[in-house]
Amino acid sequence: MRFVWITLYDTDGVLVRKSDNITDAKQLDGKTVCLQSGGSLTEKAIEETEEEYGITMKKVYYDSTIQARDAFFGGRCDTYVTDGTAAAGQRASVAKNPDDYDIIKAGHGAEPNGVAVARGDDQLFDVVRWTVNALFWAEFNGITSQNIDEKLASGGPDIKRVLGGEAGFGKPLGLDDKWAYNVIKQVGNYAEIWDRNLGKDSPLKVDRGLNKLWKDGGLNYPYPWE
């Protein structure tokens, strides 16, 4: 397999109960935390949090993240640590009332997740690579699934070129010239996909954080098309 592009940067998160009024990692001093045993990355996140704020947490180990999660929701621990998007998913799907819980960032890790294709399929590699690029490029240029036709009609030469206004634009990828237009029209730009599946319009309500465009303080940026 070959990884094409990082499409999601995850961080570690600590689930807490709103009723405990914990809004900052500093307040975790002396609290019990449920976590998977075996020196996981989430344990490192707790250790980094302890070192950063000069606090000590009481670690309660379990054989799996599922056991640790269930122990937390069962009231065994004050907190539970796992990947941030996983914490959001478990809050949305396991908690009886998701609104009773908050997620606090823990540690300094940025875990890369991305798309992989079979090694040797160079055409698919290129198609996936530039499709992801189109999603970031569209967001940067304010192009959405709703306004793309207007942008195609009134945008500058660069926008018209990428959206299919230049003959032969899709040829290097073996695609139709309007391939980028078709993708954005159907599923939206990166921000639209995020909001719909992970963000404010989804049950998970995950903050984009490092997944914002670089101009907004994140790590994502589109490559130039030249």
| pLDDT, tens only, 153-186 | 999 999 999 999 999 999 999 999 999 999 999 9
Against a cut of 0.85, is the pTM above it?
Answer: yes
Cα-Cα-Cα-Cα dihedral sign, residues 74, 75, 76, 77: positive
| Closest C-alpha to 166, from 98, 81, 225 | 225
- Half-sphere exposure (Cβ direction) of 103: Cα atoms closer than 13 Å: 23
What per-residue string of b and e applies to 127-136 under the rule 16 or more CB within 10 Å gives b?
bbbbbbbbbb
For the domain bounded by 2-113, which CATH number is listed? 3.40.190.10
Instruction: For 214, list phi and psi in degrees, rounded to 5.
Output: -60, -35
Listed by start position, the domains of the chain span 2-113, 120-216
| pLDDT, tens only, 180-223 | 999 999 999 999 999 999 999 999 999 999 999 999 999 999 99
